[in-house]
Amino acid sequence: MNLELRHLKVVCAIAETGSVTKAASMLGLAQPALTAQLQRIERTLGGPLFERDRRGARPTALGELVLARAKVLLPAMKGLQDEAARLAGSEQETGMSRYRIGACGGPIIGGLVHRLSEDQPNAQITTHASYYVDELASMVLAGKLDFAQVGVCGDAMPSAEYGLVWRTIAVDGVCVLMPEDHPALKNEELDLSELADELWVAGAGDGCFGDCFAAACARAGFAPRRMLETDIRGCVDMVEAGSAVAICQPTFRPPAGLAHRPIAGAPLRWRQVLGWHPDSPAAAMAPRLLEMATEAYRDAIARNPQYVLWQAAHPQLGVAQLTAA
């Protein structure tokens, strides 16, 4: 006989009541049937679990060991059953009980997870970070992620080769991060040509942004010095040291001593998008996720009122254009 959880419940009932007869009554079984079951359990475990006499039933050393394990296993199984029931109920209500979201960083993922957690407190939410849109798209295609929230060069969309649906959340003008005492910060926006002699640094990633940056510099009348690529902390360190200026999003909150400004005319734009597979269970929840992502973007951009005013003069930017996208 294989030991099962119901056998542990029998052992616990006998120990709790101190009597096979009382345990049988508690469990709704006939006393001879419970006695026979206890004997099968003891044969399986290799020895008696209780000393039984006219005073009742008292656990043996082996019985104490089994009871100690049962007091861990039975509550754990009950917790598992309760959690599974909650998640199943959530899945019936919403269509999903688990959300796996990949992101390239930026201002949206934190607010999106916060809103999703409040909207569906019983849902399991996991995130995966990557600098590369293609990596996240391939994971969605393979069923390893449900959604990908990424950023791409403003004039492009992620590759269609993965068969995913991509929807724009917002489009921003790219900003330049530099020390607060940099002379170019005197205005509310930067003339790109004033930065012709700068060394540039940006975060890692794929896509066409590097080519678009070089083209924007060419239109401004210069060829940029090489663009260094590193993580965000490395970008900030180089700017703080005065070694370079950095490309950044307007939602980036600079540390003390640094500031950023948008580039005049918005020659470089950054598009925030949300992607999912049209045949996946996630597709049913995608409109709601897109709405949450848009709300998260609005909250993030509101923390930079100077940029919000600048953005208002550029109708091709922000969320307002999404209805036409």
Structure token pair of residue 129: 């970070």
> What is the domain extent for residue 64?
5-92
Could you tell me the strand order of the sheet in which 147-153 lies?
124-129, 98-103, 147-153, 269-276, 165-173
Q: Which of 180, 179, 168, 155 lies closest to 266 in space, CA to CA?
A: 155
Residues of the chain under the 70 pLDDT cut: 82-96, 320-325
CATH of the domain at 165: 3.40.190.290
Q: Are residues 180 and 67 in the same domain?
A: no
Q: Are residues 65 and 118 in the same domain?
A: no
Structure token pair of residue 116: 């999703």
Q: Are residues 195 and 87 in the same domain?
A: no
pLDDT computed for residue 84 by the predictor: 63
Q: Are residues 215 and 176 in the same domain?
A: yes
Q: Are residues 88 and 105 in the same domain?
A: no
Our count of domains for the chain comes to 2
Q: Are residues 167 and 228 in the same domain?
A: yes
The domain boundary residue, chosen from 77, 92, 107:
92
Q: Are residues 156 and 252 in the same domain?
A: yes
H-helix or E-strand spanning residue 149: strand 147-153
Q: Are residues 115 and 76 in the same domain?
A: no
CATH of the domain at 80: 1.10.10.10
Q: Are residues 36 and 125 in the same domain?
A: no
The b/e string for 207-245 (b: 16+ C-beta within 10 A; e otherwise) is bebeebbeebbeebeeebeebeebeeeebbebbeeeebb
Q: Are residues 125 and 58 in the same domain?
A: no
Q: Are residues 76 and 104 in the same domain?
A: no
Q: In the Cβ-directed half-sphere of 221, how many Cα atoms lie within 13 Å?
A: 5
Could you tell me the strand order of the sheet in which 200-203 lies?
227-230, 200-203, 245-248, 175-179, 258-262
The domain boundary residue, chosen from 48, 66, 92:
92
Structure token pair of residue 211: 């080519």
Structure token pair of residue 149: 């929230």
Q: Are residues 67 and 158 in the same domain?
A: no
The domain boundary residue, chosen from 92, 122, 141:
92
CA distance 11 to 21: 13
